[in-house]
A and B are shown apart, each in its own frame.
Chain A
Amino acid sequence: MITTSGLTKVYRSRGREFTALGGVDLHVREGEVYGVVGQSGAGKSTLIRCVNLLERPTSGTVTVAGQDLTALAGRGPRASAELRRARSRIGMVFQHFNLLSSRTVQDNVELPLEILGLARRERERKALELLDLVGLADKARNYPGQLSGGQKQRVGIARALAGDPKVLLSDESTSALDPETTRSILQLLRDLNRQLGLTVLLITHEMDVVKTICDSAALMKSGRIVESGTVAELLATPGSELAAELFPVGGEPSGPNRTVVDVTFHGEAATQPVVSQLARTYNIDISILGAAMDTVGGRQIGRMRIELPGRFEENVVPIGFLREQGLQVDVADVNTPAPAAAPAEEGAK
């Protein structure tokens, strides 16, 4: 649905060059929620702004819904009529909502429809329908200044949906919101993704966002995508940095002569209560040192660090049992201290 290939963006100022994007190949499938994570300055924002050409890429192509947008861009700073038409079919939500304070909520949602040239009656009907969809039908006549952050973002989402887009771009849309509001906005995005078959590309620095709604994710570092894939694929990749940040596990062994094992749950197999089965079958005591688990649709996803009594050699059979269940099992190196359990919370600016 969204494909970028060899996307680069180089900023030049006073003879100095700064490469914001160094050749990004991104592939977002139709109907999925795709999250791009990375620290500030990694180029995520430049990337998403290149997707609808708010930022003109230095080289490379962007294809959205089969249309090569980079080919539509004129040469000057002004957007061609075709590019503008293509943009109207791509919704975008922003971190700071970017609502016009001079217009009512309803008029804000009507703005893209005005640009599309819809008749007043039609605009009104559509705007109210969209406000109803995001649960703000009663705020139509209010001004954005009278709404809370979460409500403003709902208006932003309604506005982004006005052009019946197939694709929604979300530029840190929950980063200015408190955790509870973030959850409700993510829930809304998830619902829209399911109900309307909307493809969502979102960028965020919050791992929780990816964990909550993303089907796939990519990690960006200094202008490049260093890892990408579906959440299950990432989990299955040994040594995946993204998986480790999404599902961080930690914990030190409680004493000598213990075997510490990291068990990764993903895919079909992770439906059984394996830990208690293991304990019962082999009559061993298992301690859980750390875990980062979620249960989605009755299936467990995540990782768990467990401790088995005895050395590794004594635990070959139980570990084999776990592998037989289709779980990915890595024996953690006990001597090296485990990484910190909490992901770097750089969120609250």
Chain B
Amino acid sequence: MTWSEMQPLLRDACLDTLFMVWWSTVYAVVGGLPLGILLVLTDRGGLLRNALVNKVLGAVLNLGRSLPFIILIVWLIPFSRFVVGTSIGPSAAVVALALGAIPFFARLVETAIREVDHGLVEAVQAMGGGTWTIIFKVLLPQALPSLIAGLTTTVITLIGYSAMAGAVGGGGLGNLAITYGYQRREDTLMNVTIVLLIVIVTVVQLAGDFAVRRLAARGGRQAPAAGLRRLLPAQRKPATATTAPATAAPEAVSDSVPASAPEKAV
């Protein structure tokens, strides 16, 4: 197979992968962020403590997370067909990817939100803030670096999942690697696909790290969760801690996190 033959295949597969990852990320955030917050708020000692909601929600999220993704995607074939009218192709894969990613991201959101110092919540309660104020002015802004780190992890996981979706007809780079690279023994194509995946993952990770670092530079704030910190290598203590970064507006972040950034309109 020549390079000119490969090029359109690769381009289409890349676009399919990005399509799947982008939309499933959007759904993961739209679904996972509120669920993660709700999970913390309804927990014992939370603002909206409600044992029943908490238990049920926790059980559903665990169910979603305990299924191996390849099983989930097969299991969801009828549902995908119901939602998008087909069980193959990127659109069908988005359904399964989103449903797989929502519990994943929700748990990361839960960890990030839980990490916010309860004293801050109390301080805002003491000044008369209600639950919405606490969510939008305390929990989300304070957890933002951890949330971004969690989002980065989610996107990278989705890139991996999308390749798996390719195995069952989802399209994208995974599909290309399986059908051409593996079944038709196109080693070059296989290698190019792998390199492309590595490049995409690296770019996402670097972008996420950059955003977290920018946020962390705001006056030596606390580092993200221990669990997430492992995923963010070599970013401790930026040297800019003493020079006031008055222009730390998270513009680099705002397009990757549609749900949580808007209120910081400096």
Residues of B within 8 A of A166 (CB): none
CB distance B127 to A163 under 8 Å? Answer: yes
Residues of B within 8 A of A79 (CB): 125, 130
Residues of B within 8 A of A115 (CB): 124, 127-129, 133
* Known A101-B222, A141-B244, A145-B221; contact A87-B49, beta-carbon cutoff 8 A: no
Q: Does A211 contact B (CB under 8 A)?
A: no
Q: Which residue of A lies closest to B124 (CB)?
A: A111
* Known A78-B131, A88-B127, A111-B137; contact A101-B221, beta-carbon cutoff 8 A: yes
Q: How far is the CB of A161 from chain B (nearest CB, A)?
A: 11
Residues of B within 8 A of A96 (CB): 117, 119
Q: Does A159 contact B (CB under 8 A)?
A: yes
Q: Does A143 contact B (CB under 8 A)?
A: yes
Q: Does B220 contact A (CB under 8 A)?
A: yes
Q: Which residue of A lies closest to B140 (CB)?
A: A102
Per a CB cutoff under 8 Å, which of A87, A99, A145, A169 touches B128? Answer: A87
Q: Does B12 contact A (CB under 8 A)?
A: no
Q: Does B252 contact A (CB under 8 A)?
A: no
Residues of B within 8 A of A85 (CB): 128
Q: Does A103 contact B (CB under 8 A)?
A: yes
CB distance B126 to A102 under 8 Å? Answer: no
Q: Which residue of B lies closest to A77 (CB)?
A: B49
Q: Does B253 contact A (CB under 8 A)?
A: no
Residues of A within 8 A of B107 (CB): none
CB distance A54 to B126 under 8 Å? Answer: yes
Residues of B within 8 A of A84 (CB): 128-130
- In the bound assembly, the distance between CA atoms of A100 and B77 in angstroms comes to 46
- In the bound assembly, the distance between CA atoms of A146 and B137 in angstroms comes to 21
Per a CB cutoff under 8 Å, which of B48, B122, B137, B215 touches A98? Answer: B122
Q: How far is the CB of B140 from chain A (nearest CB, A)?
A: 9
Per a CB cutoff under 8 Å, which of B120, B126, B129, B242 touches A52? Answer: B126
Residues of A within 8 A of B49 (CB): 77
CB distance B124 to A101 under 8 Å? Answer: no
Binary CB contact string for chain B from 46 to 58 against chain A (1 if under 8 A, 0 otherwise): 0111000000000
* Known A102-B144, A115-B133; contact A143-B127, beta-carbon cutoff 8 A: no
Residues of A within 8 A of B137 (CB): 100, 111, 114
CB distance B130 to A101 under 8 Å? Answer: no
Q: Which residue of A lies closest to B118 (CB)?
A: A98
Q: Does A112 contact B (CB under 8 A)?
A: yes
Q: Does A317 contact B (CB under 8 A)?
A: no
Q: Does B194 contact A (CB under 8 A)?
A: no
Per a CB cutoff under 8 Å, which of A54, A102, A162, A163 touches B142? Answer: A102
Q: Which residue of B lies closest to A96 (CB)?
A: B119
Residues of A within 8 A of B222 (CB): 101
Per a CB cutoff under 8 Å, which of B128, B138, B220 touches A146? Answer: B220
CB distance B141 to A112 under 8 Å? Answer: no
Q: Does A302 contact B (CB under 8 A)?
A: no
Per a CB cutoff under 8 Å, which of B125, B142, B219 touches A142? Answer: B219
- In the bound assembly, the distance between CA atoms of A64 and B57 in angstroms comes to 40
- In the bound assembly, the distance between CA atoms of A271 and B219 in angstroms comes to 51
CB distance A100 to B141 under 8 Å? Answer: yes
- In the bound assembly, the distance between CA atoms of A301 and B133 in angstroms comes to 48
Q: What 8 A-B pairs come out closest when comparing CB atoms?
A: A143-B219, A145-B219, A88-B128, A145-B220, A98-B123, A101-B221, A112-B127, A102-B141
- Supply 9 A–B pairs (Cβ within 8 Å), ascending by A: A79-B130, A86-B128, A96-B119, A98-B120, A100-B141, A115-B124, A142-B244, A160-B127, A169-B126
Residues of B within 8 A of A (CB): 47-49, 117, 119-120, 122-131, 133, 137-138, 141-142, 144, 215, 218-222, 241-242, 244, 246
Seed contacts A101-B142, A115-B133, A141-B244; 18 additional CB < 8 Å A-B pairs:
A54-B122, A77-B47, A78-B48, A78-B131, A84-B128, A84-B129, A87-B125, A87-B127, A87-B128, A90-B126, A96-B119, A100-B120, A102-B141, A102-B142, A116-B128, A141-B246, A143-B219, A144-B219
